Chains A and B, each alone.
Chain A
Amino acid sequence: MSPQPTLDTGTAVRPPDNLTMAAALNAAIRDAMVDDPSIVLFGEDVGPLGGVFRVTDGLYAEFGETRVSDSPLAEAGIVGTAIGMAMYGLRPVVEMQFDAFSYPAFQQIVSHVAKMRNRTRGKIPLPIVIRIPYAGDIGGVEHHSDSSEAYWTATPGLTVVSPSNPADAYSMLREAIASDDPVIFMEPKSRYWSKAELALPVQTEPLNRAVVLREGTDVTLIAYGPTVKTALATAVQAVAEGLSIEVIDLRSLSPFDDETVGASVRKTGRAAVVHEAAQFGGYGAEVAARLTERNFFYLAAPILRITGFDIPYPSPKLEEYFLPTPDRILSALSTWEWS
């Protein structure tokens, strides 16, 4: 693992405040822009409106049109022009307004963002952050609740991360912006309004590391982004059933922190991965496969995936039936033979 880069905290340390994840992300972009004049921000509605989730609130007023701008409504255009800007020494931070709205940019991301560094043998690095609000549980209409992470994690050349809490949101976004590699920064929409007491700037674990959020001895529950909260609730609920659950927040989907997760699985001997995305070919399949390959003889049971069903994301009145819940997770764990 690479050493953790030290954030340039040219901005003053502020007194603790009760911050939402959206506010923490906003502060991360703002502080990064103060520290590094090569950072530019653009996308749909990120200017005067401050983004539909207000993540870029106030940045247009503070930095002006040169560094913060509304773009035409075209995602391939946003990512494609970000590539050209990065080639000329800027560090673009761009927003795909909603997960499913990133699909028009798929070709630019997969064929160029991910491959330019390799194609040019390192001569053209692309320090671009593509922010994607993703996942459901916000009552969104169709195309506003997709979990598309597996498309990106299946693409060599991309770094894919997802914070689950305000402190990580700040720290991970600062580190993503400072990275010389392109980063797909997936923001769980349902957690935008979650709060934490934070004194910014805050620095959490390095971007490429998973963390054990809650220690346990019987099961390793692996989650990221929106399902971390679900996993923690499951662990609390399981106590009454005499089950000790260790909860891991992956934070980084690509690269995968084999070291941290592997150590936990070897300790507990049982693991399950929880995500909102559909199961078949989903990210959980990779997690289960690589943990099994590397830790088979430590496992007392097959690794389970508790995920969204293999159906398109449902309409608002039906999403509660789709999303993994503590009850569904505990029922799945109860299918194991417990000797």
Chain B
Amino acid sequence: MSLNVESRSLTAVPAPPPLRLIDDTGHAVAESESGGFTLPALATLLGLYRQMVVARRFDVQVTALTRQGRLATYPSALGQEACEIAAVASLAPQDWLFPTYRDSIALLTRGVEPKDILASFRGDWHSGYDYPKHRIAPQATPLATQALHAVGLATASKLKRDDTVALTLLGDGATSEGDAHEAFNFAAVWQAPVVFLVQNNQFAISVPLDKQMACRTIADKAIGYGMPGYYVDGNDVAAMYAVVSAAMDRARSGGGPTLIEGLTYRIEAHTNSDDPTRYRKTADVDLWRNRDPIERLEKYLVAQGALTAEVRADIVAAAEQLATTTRDCMSEQAVIDPLELFEHVYSTPRAALAEQRAVLAAEIDGDAAASAALSSASNEENSR
């Protein structure tokens, strides 16, 4: 039976070890094992560490708010900080980021205010930040659709002879979507300056990767499209930063697209409405908790003498400050005007929409008489 995953495991070629620059124990790997990539400078790594700690504090805080019922939903990226932060750190100011619903900490790291990130999860509007200012597209919900937008934007940049590069974040499940295939192919054919960063967190809600695909790694697929692919330890921020930055540079200098797979793990549930105990073992989760990307870099930085108690205290204080800001913004009531529902659908007003808007306005005013009058206004001519 072809649907049986076991039946093909006999012929499957085992995946190679992912590329890493700092191993699980916090030691730099030998140069011969670094795939030609150089360990980033200590100052860079310290900056990445700081961003990861702050991002995790935000993620934990928002998950707590969701459990308290104060947010409609929040897809956590706990455990995926190395991928998220390395991606954003690799962006030049002019570059565009195309994130998914799980990538809120990438938005945070690129400078979006917590209140603007949470606007959609609070249910204020479908999305709530200044996209052109931050150069971040709305967080995509339909899987892999944003990858095509990234390819289009990158192609437009190329047509205009700009040096803007697009980076899109995808999950492992999204690579099964047709839009992912089309995006990879269009990017390679058009040599678009775009980088695809697939965070392989090993689950599409409950479905493990071996039920998504039969090849060794997602990165292997790159060869089929005619672009380079890298299989990277997604919990090693040093490797992620080195590989993503190199891919961004290559795209910027006319070298075309790159597919990068970061092997990581989704520590939290898919969202607050998911129950992961139904499809994975606690022991597996614990295994990956012990491969924590922040602890790994911390060991390295401490050993290098770069992370002193003073620096650590400063980072923790910044993270706590952000948590406070995040909690505080929840008590601010966003101005929500129901009549705005009609405002942005079209650039030019439509008569039929104006009529419906008037009906809602009358309902809101609680003026039953006006409501009745308005709903029959369109039938006025009928009473001949």
Contacts and interface: CB of A to CB of B under 8 A. Distances in A.
Classify the secondary structure of B's interface with A: helix
A239 interface: no
A72 B189 contact: yes
Contact of B182 (A67, A72, A124): A72
Interface of B: 96, 125-127, 130-132, 137-138, 142, 145, 147-157, 159-160, 164, 166, 178-179, 182-183, 185-186, 189, 340, 343-352, 378-379, 381-384
B182 A76 contact: yes
A80 B149 CA distance: 5
Interface string A1-36: 110000000000000000000000000000000000
Interface string A104-134: 1001100110011111111111000000000
A79 B155 CA distance: 13
A66 interface: yes
Given A123-B132, A298-B381, A117 B344 contact: yes
A181 B126 contact: no
B145 A108 contact: yes
Contacts of A159: 346
Interface stretch (A85-93, A195-203, A241-249, A323-331): A85-93
A258 B352 contact: yes
B304 to A, nearest CB: 41
B344 A76 contact: no
A214 interface: no
Interface in A76-103: 76-77, 79-90, 92
A95 to B, nearest CB: 16
A294 interface: yes
A337 interface: no
B347 A258 contact: no
Contact of A83 (B126, B149, B343): B149
B351 A255 contact: yes
Contacts of A76: 148, 178-179, 182
A266 interface: yes
A90 B162 CA distance: 13
Given A74-B182, A266-B381, A294-B379, A84 B346 contact: no
A71 interface: yes
5 contacts: A80-B183, A84-B150, A117-B346, A118-B126, A121-B125
Contact of A180 (B148, B149, B347): B347
Contacts of A88: 96, 152-153, 156-157, 160, 164
A159 B352 CA distance: 13
A179 B340 CA distance: 22
Interface string A225-266: 000000000000000000000000000000110110010001
Nearest to B151: A81
B131 A124 contact: yes
A87 B137 contact: yes
Interface string A39-67: 01000000000000000000000000011
A297 interface: yes
Contacts of B348: 2, 181
